[in-house]
Structure 1
Amino acid sequence: MPFIFDDLFSIPYNESIRSLGTAFSPPNTNGETVSGRPLVNFTLALNYAISGNHVWSYHVVNLFIHVCAGLALFGLVRRTLLLPSMRERFGRDSLPIASAIAALWMLHPMQTESVTYIVQRAESLMGLFYLLTLYCFVRGASVVTQTAKSASVQTGKLGSLRYVGWLALSLLCCLLGMASKEVMVSAPLVVFFYDRAFVSGSFRKAWAGRRAYYLLLASTWILTAWLALRTGSRGMTAGFNTEVSVWTYLLTQCQAIPHYLRLVFWPSGLVFDYGTPLVTSLGEVWLRGLFIIVLLGATVWACVRKPKLGFLGIVFFAVLAPTSSFIPVATQTIATHRMYLPLAALAVLASMGVWKLGGRKAVQVFAVIAIALGALTFHRNLAYQSNLAIWSDTLAKLPEKDRARASNNLAHALIDDGRAAEAIALCVEAVRLKPDFTQAYNNHGYALAKLGRFNDALLYYDKALSFGQNGMDVTLNNRGYALYNLGRYEDAMRDYRGALKLRPSYAEALSNYGNVLCAIGRYDEAMRQLDEALRMDPEFAAAWNNRGNIFAAMGNNPDEALRCYKKAAELDPSLALAIDNVARYAVFLGRSEEALPYFEVHARLKPADALVRQGWGNALMLLGRSAESIPHFERALELDPALFVSRHNLAIALVETGRPADAITHFEKALALQPRSAPLHHNYAEALAKVGRIDEAIDREREALRIQPDFVWAKEQLDALLEQRRRASSVAHFTQP
C-alpha cells in the first residue's frame, strides 16, 4: 500500500519530518493534511526516523492508533453502562454490548480511509484522543460515585486524588486532540452534554460540580484558535476565503450527510475521493436538507426529553459540524473519513436497539454482522494496493461530472506504470470537465514526454503554467526535463531554478538540475545540487543514479560511480535506468560477473527491451560463456531484427560453440545491415573457412582489408587462408592420375 494522493506532500515531500526537532512546525503552503496539526506531523516524523519513505511503519502505526481507539470506545461504552444511571438495565450485559459496539465500529469498511490511507491518521488520531477525553472523564466520574459510597476518610482522600488525576488525563487528551485536528473543537461541549445525560442529570449540576474542569477544558480552544490562525486558510483550501461560498458548501453537505448515513447501513460503493462536487441550487437537495432538519429537530427533542438518546445525536452532529456544515473545505467537499468518529454514535444507537429487541441472543446477530463487515473491509483494502488500483476504482464509481480529478490522477498512475499512451485520453477528459485544470495539462505533457514527444509536451506545460495555480513547481520541473532532452540546456536550467525558487526543498528538481550541469561539464556545481537533493531525501534513488552519472563522466572515481548506481538500484528496484547503468558500467569496468544479476532484473522489468537482452548476451560472451549468450541474442533479435550487434555476436557465439554452418545465415543478415564492417567480414571469413568454403573466406578477408587496410588479424587470416588453398591445390595436382 504505497503513498497516495495527499500522502505525498505530507510525507515524502515534507521536509519538516526529516528531523524530530522541526516536526512540530508542519508546512502550510499547499494545503497539506498536516498543516496546523503538529502532533500528526510529529508522529509522521517518528515513522520517518524508523523507516524513511518505506510505508510499512506508517501503516503499522495507523493500525495501532485504530486498535487503541477501538479499545477506548469499548472502555467508554462499558464504563457508561456501569454508571448508576445505566447499571440497573445494562450493567450485567456491559461486556458483550461494549465488545459488539467496538467490533462493529472497528471493522466497518467506512473506516478504511482513516486507517489505510496514511495521512488520514489526522482523523483517527483525533478520534482516539476524543474518545480518551470522554473515557478519562467517565473514570473520574466513577471514582466520585465509589468514594461517595465509602465511609472511610482515607478512601475519600485517595478517591479525590484519583478523581483529579483522571480529569487531568482527560484534559491532556483533549489538548492532544486539538493538536491533531480541528474537529476536536467540539469535545469540551460533548463532555458537558455527556455529564448532564449520564452522570449529573442536569447542566446546572454538571457545571456546579466541575466548573474548574470545564473552564480548563474550554481553554484548549486557545490552542485550536492559535493553530488555525497560523495556518490561515490552509493554503486557500479551507475557510471563508476559498472560492467556494458558505451557501454552496452548506447545500453540498445536504447531499453529503444522507450519503454518509446510507453508507453506514449499506457500505456499498465506497469512494476514495469524490473530487470537488458542489450543489448550487436548493432545488437539487431540498428533500435531503429537510431530512437533515428533521434529524436535527429529533436530536434537540431527545436532548430535552431523552438526554441519553439525544447525546448520540449531539455527538454525530457536533463531530461533523466543523467539516460538514457551512465552513468550506474547497478541495474536498465530500469525504468518507469524516465519519470515523460519528460512526461510533451510530454504532451505539444501532447496537443498543438490537440488544433491546433480542437481548443476549443479539450476540449471534452481532457476530454475523462483524464477519460480514470484516470481509467487506478486507475487500475494500484491495483497492489501496496501488495508485493504479485506487484511482481505477474511484473513477469507476463516480458520476461523469465529478470525474475530473480522478481521471487526472489515474492518468498519472498510468504514466508511472509505463502506460503513457493510455493516460493521454484521461488527461483530455479531465480538461473537458474542468478547462482550467492545471494538473491535467501538466500530466498530458508528462505523458507525451514519456513517449519521447518532447516538443509536443512543451505546449501542454506552457498551458498549465499559464493558469498560475498551485503545482507550478512540478510543471516547471517537468518542462525542464523536456527541454533537457531537446538539448536546450540553458532553458532547462532556467526552469529548474524557477521550480526551486517556489520549493527550495524540491529534491527532484535539484537532482534534475544537477543532471543538466553534468551534461555541460560543470561537474562541481552538479555535485553540489545532487548532494543537496540527497540531503533533502537520502533515499531518492534517481538522485543517486544522477550522482553516479557525474562520477562516470569525470572518470576519476569509477568505483564510486558504480556504488552510486548500485545504491539507486537498491533503493528502487523498479528504477530501470539505474539497474541498466549498474549492468552496463560494470561491464565497462571489466566486472561482467557483477553485471549479470542486474541484466536479469532489468529483463524482468522490461521484457520487450531488445537492448537489455543484447547487453546480457554481451556480458556472457565477455566471460567466455558463449553458449549461454545465444538465447539472449536470439531473444533480442526476435524483438528487433535490425540489431546489428546482436546479429553479429550471435553468429560469433555459434562459431565458438561449433555451429559455423548455423552462423553463416546470421553473418549474411548482419552484412545486409552493415556491409562496411571490417570485423564482420573477418569473422564471417572464419565461419566460411570452418565449413570448407575457402575461396569465399578469402574474398571476405580481402574485403575486410579493403575497408580497413591496417586490420592485422584480417591480414594474418588472409595469409593463412591463401597458404591453405595453395596446399590444397598442390595436393590435388599431385594426386591427379
Structure 2
Amino acid sequence: MVLLNGKYTMRRWPHWAGLALLVLFVLAIYWPGLAGAFIFDDYSTIVDNTRLHVDVLRPSLIWQAAISFDPGGTFGARPLAMATLAVNHALGGLDPWGYKLTGLIVHLCNTLLVWALVNILLGVRTTTVVVQASVRRVAVLGVVLLWAIHPIQVSSVLYVVQRMETLAATFMLAALICYVRGRLCQIGLGSGWPWLLAAVLLTLIGLLSKETAVLVPVYALAIELTVLRFAASNPSSGRRWRMLYGLGVFAALVVFVVVVVPHYWSNHYMARNFGTWERLLTQLRVLPMYLLQILLPTPGNLTFYYDHVLPSRGLLQPMSTLLGGLLLLGLLATAVWTRWRAPLVALGILWFFVSHLLTSNVVGLELAFEHRNYLALLGVLLVACDLILRAPVAARQVVLPVAVVAVLVGSAGLTLIRSATWGDPLLLATELVVENPGSARASADLGAMYFGMSDGYANSPFIDMAIGEFERGSRLPGASIISDQGLILTAAQSGREVPSIWWDRLVSKVQTGTLSPETTGALFSLLENRYKDVVLDDQRLAQAFRALFERTALPPYSYAQVGDYAKVHAHDEVFADEMFVQAINNSVADPQYARKVIDTLDRKGWHRQAELARARALELGLLADRAGAASVGTK
C-alpha cells in the first residue's frame, strides 16, 4: 500500500512471472540438499519416535503422532508441525527426501510471504526516502532473494526437525501481513478489524507449530514504534492503540518477573554446564556471532554444531562478553536515534532483537543454533535496504548495483555449495569436523558415518577409521559420552574386544561430567542395542545407569525400561527391584502408569518385583480405587 492523496491504496504487484522465477531460482539452489540424510535431533523426533510412524492417513493415528513430541513445548506438543511429519511418514516412510522437500516447500511459501510483508513495509511513506517505484520494487526483490538464499538458511530448510521453526514462521509472517494491512486500513478511514482478527487467528495457529509464534505481538509493537507510529484516522484511536500496547507491555513484564523468571532461573540448569546468569552473559557473545554469520557467511562461521561454545562466567570472562554487550547496547541506541530519522533501520534492529527474545532469555536452552536466525536475518536486510535507498543517486546507479549483484551471486554460490554438501552425508560429516574440530557432536557423526561404510565387516579399514574418530572425539574438552558410546558399539558390533578403559571413561563422565540429553540418549541407545543381541558388558552398563540415576531424575518409563534390562540381561534382581520401585515413585502424577507397571510385572510372572511395586503404590495412594474395590468385595 502507498499513501496517495491522503489515502492508502494498493500498489500494483509485480508480474506473477517474476515471482515464479524467484521461486524456481530458490528451488534450484536448495534442490541438491534434498538427497541428504537425517541428522542430530531428526533421529529422536522422527526416526526413533515410533508414535510418529503412521502408515495410513487416518485421523486418529495422525492425532497420536501430532502429540508425540518430547519434550512438549510451552503451549503443547507442537501438534501441527508433528502432524505434517506424520503425513510425510505415511507417504514415504523414513526416506528423508520427502521430509526435506516439504521443508523446502514451506520455505518457498515463506519467501512469498516475506515478499508481501517487505512490499507493504517499503510502501509506507514513513519508511524510506522518496524513490521511484521501480527502484523500490527492485529493493524489495533484493531483500527477499537474499533472505531466501542466504547460506545461514540452509540448516533451517534442510534440517528436517526445523520444520517446527519454519512452519511457525509461515503463520507469523501471514499474521504480520494481516496486522499491517488492517492497521493501514484503519489509518485510511477503512475497517481493518477483519484483518486484525485474522492476525490473531494465524498467531494461534502458529503456536501449534512452535512457541516462537508468541512473538507476533512483539514484532507488531516494533512495527508500530518505527513505521506505523500508532497512527490512526483520529486522535482517540491513536491513544487507544498506545494504551493497548502499554497495558500489554506492562502485563508481559509482570508475567515475566513474577512467573517466568522464578520458574526458569537456576544457578545450574539440569543437563547444562551453566546457570541462568551465565546463559544471559553468553548471549552477549552469541548475538554478535549471529551478526557475523549473517554478514560473513563463510563455511568456517557456519558450523551447524555449537557444542564447542563455552559459557561466559563473567563480563570479562572472556573479554568478548563485555565487548559484545557494548555492541548490542550501541545497536539499541541506534534504533532509538533512528526511529524518526530512518524508521526502517530502527525496525530492522528491533526485528533482530525480537527474533531472539525467547532463545536468548532465561529458558535453559542450548547456547547457540543457526536456525534461530531464520526470521532474524530479515531485520539485518531491512537495515541494509534502507541504507542503500538513502545512498546518493550516483552511487545507487553505478556502485551499489554492482555491489548488490556481487552479494547476491556470492550468497547464491555459497548456499548452493552448502546445499550440495548437505545432500552428501559423508561430505557433510567430514566438512563439519574440518570446520569445527572442537565439536564432539561433529566427531560422533563422522565416526558413525565411517562405521556405516564398513557394512559390518570386522576387518574393514572403515572400522579403524571409525574407532580413530570416536577416540578423538571422546577426548575433546567437555565431550559427552556420545563418542565413548560410539567406540563401544563399533567394537561390539564388529566382533572386536571392547577395552575396559572405554567403559571406565564412559562411567566416569556419567559420574562427574555434565549430564545432557546426549548422555541419557547414548546410554539408552546402548540398552536398545543390547536388546538387539549386541554383546555388551552388562555389569558396566548397569553401573553407568546407577551413576545416571544418582544424579538426575527421569520419567517413570525410563526406570521401568532399565528395570526390565536389569532383570533380563544384567540378571541383577536387587537393581531390578530398585528400578521398578522408582518407576512407581515417579508415577505420582500418572497413577495409570503405575498400574500398568504392576500389571505388566504380574503378567510376566515377576512376582517379587510386582509385590514391591504394588506395596509402594499403595503407600503413595496410587491404587486407592483398587483397594476400595477389594474392600467391597470382602463384605
Shared fold (TM-score, shorter chain, > 0.5): yes
Q: 1:137 and 2:179 equivalent?
A: yes
Q: Which residue of 1 aligns with 2:80?
A: 39
Shift of 1:52: 1.8
How many residues are aligned here?
Answer: 482
Q: Can you give the 5+ residue segments of structure 1 that lack an aligned partner in the other structure?
A: 149-158, 516-737
Q: Equivalent residues in 2 for 1:333-412 (5 A)? A: 333-357=367-391, 358-359=395-396, 362=400, 365-398=403-436, 402-412=438-448
Contact 2:75 2:211 in 1 (8 A): no
Shift of 1:69: 1.1
SS at match of 2:367: coil
Contact 1:408 1:426 in 2 (8 A): yes
Shift of 1:342: 0.9
Q: Equivalent residues in 2 for 1:248-327 (5 A)? A: 248-268=278-298, 269=300, 270-278=302-310, 279-283=312-316, 284=318, 285=320, 286-303=322-339, 306-327=342-363
Shift of 1:169: 1.8
Q: 1:126 and 2:168 equivalent?
A: yes
Letter in 2 for 1:177: G
Counterparts of 2:39 and 2:203, CA distance in 1: 30
Q: 1:445 and 2:480 equivalent?
A: no
Q: Which residue of 2 aligns with 1:11?
A: 46
Q: 233, 247, 258: which one pairs with 2:277?
A: 247
SS at match of 2:372: helix
SS at match of 1:274: coil
Q: 1:430 and 2:430 equivalent?
A: no
Letter in 2 for 1:254: L
Letter in 2 for 1:412: A
Contact 1:136 1:169 in 2 (8 A): yes
Contact 1:27 1:34 in 2 (8 A): no
Counterparts of 1:87 and 1:500, CA distance in 2: 55
Q: Which residue of 2 aligns with 1:473?
A: 524
Contact 1:192 1:206 in 2 (8 A): no
Q: Equivalent residues in 2 for 1:112-261 (5 A)? A: 112-146=154-188, 148=189, 160=191, 163-201=192-230, 208=239, 242-261=272-291
Q: Which residue of 2 aligns with 1:100?
A: 142
Shift of 1:178: 2.4
SS at match of 2:423: coil
Of 457-466 and 276-285, the range deviating more from structure 2: 457-466
Letter in 2 for 1:121: R
Shift of 1:290: 1.7
Shift of 1:461: 9.0
Counterparts of 2:343 and 2:315, CA distance in 1: 32
Counterparts of 2:158 and 2:137, CA distance in 1: 28
Contact 1:448 1:457 in 2 (8 A): no
SS at match of 2:360: coil
Shift of 1:381: 1.3
Contact 2:154 2:418 in 1 (8 A): yes
Letter in 2 for 1:3: F
Q: Which residue of 2 aligns with 1:79?
A: 120
Counterparts of 1:328 and 1:81, CA distance in 2: 37
Counterparts of 1:25 and 1:103, CA distance in 2: 35
Counterparts of 2:227 and 2:478, CA distance in 1: 54
SS at match of 1:282: coil
Contact 1:316 1:342 in 2 (8 A): yes
Shift of 1:139: 2.0
Counterparts of 1:215 and 1:50, CA distance in 2: 48
Once superposed, what is the RMSD of the aligned Cα atoms? 4.4
- Closer, same or farther: CA 130–206 of 1 in aligned 2, 3 Å: farther
Q: Which residue of 2 aligns with 1:421?
A: 464
Q: Deviations over 1:660-706 (max 9, x none)?
A: xxxxxxxxxxxxxxxxxxxxxxxxxxxxxxxxxxxxxxxxxxxxxxx
- Closer, same or farther: CA 141–486 of 1 in aligned 2, 3 Å: closer
Counterparts of 1:487 and 1:262, CA distance in 2: 48
Counterparts of 2:171 and 2:313, CA distance in 1: 36
Shift of 1:271: 0.7
Q: 1:27 and 2:72 equivalent?
A: no
Contact 2:473 2:479 in 1 (8 A): no
Shift of 1:80: 1.9
Contact 2:336 2:346 in 1 (8 A): yes
Of 418-427 and 58-67, the range deviating more from structure 2: 418-427
Contact 2:307 2:440 in 1 (8 A): yes
Letter in 1 for 2:142: A
Counterparts of 1:71 and 1:396, CA distance in 2: 35
Q: Which residue of 2 aligns with 1:690?
A: none
SS at match of 1:453: coil
Q: Deviations over 1:525-546 (max 9, x none)?
A: xxxxxxxxxxxxxxxxxxxxxx
Shift of 1:354: 2.0
SS at match of 2:199: helix
Shift of 1:417: 2.1
Contact 1:6 1:32 in 2 (8 A): no
Contact 2:66 2:86 in 1 (8 A): no
Counterparts of 2:246 and 2:193, CA distance in 1: 14
- Closer, same or farther: CA 346–215 of 1 in aligned 2, 3 Å: same
Counterparts of 1:396 and 1:119, CA distance in 2: 24
Counterparts of 1:17 and 1:130, CA distance in 2: 25
Counterparts of 1:246 and 1:299, CA distance in 2: 27
In our comparison, the structure showing a higher alpha carbon Rg is 1
Contact 1:110 1:267 in 2 (8 A): yes
Q: Structure with the greater relative contact order (CA < 8 A, sep ≥ 6): 1 or 2?
A: 2
Contact 1:254 1:289 in 2 (8 A): yes
SS at match of 1:85: coil
Q: What is the percentage of aligned positions where both structures have the same residue?
A: 24
Shift of 1:46: 2.0
Counterparts of 1:27 and 1:206, CA distance in 2: 43
Shift of 1:48: 1.7
Counterparts of 1:54 and 1:219, CA distance in 2: 48
- Closer, same or farther: CA 503–64 of 1 in aligned 2, 3 Å: farther
Letter in 2 for 1:383: T
Contact 2:345 2:386 in 1 (8 A): no
Counterparts of 2:201 and 2:247, CA distance in 1: 10
Shift of 1:9: 0.8
TM-score by length of 1: 0.57
Contact 2:493 2:534 in 1 (8 A): no
- Closer, same or farther: CA 435–64 of 1 in aligned 2, 3 Å: closer
Q: Deviations over 1:351-379 (max 9, x none)?
A: 23223324466555434422221111010
Q: 1:65 and 2:115 equivalent?
A: no
Contact 1:441 1:464 in 2 (8 A): no
Letter in 2 for 1:470: T
- Closer, same or farther: CA 216–15 of 1 in aligned 2, 3 Å: farther
Letter in 2 for 1:257: L
Contact 2:276 2:362 in 1 (8 A): yes
Letter in 1 for 2:42: D
Shift of 1:107: 0.8
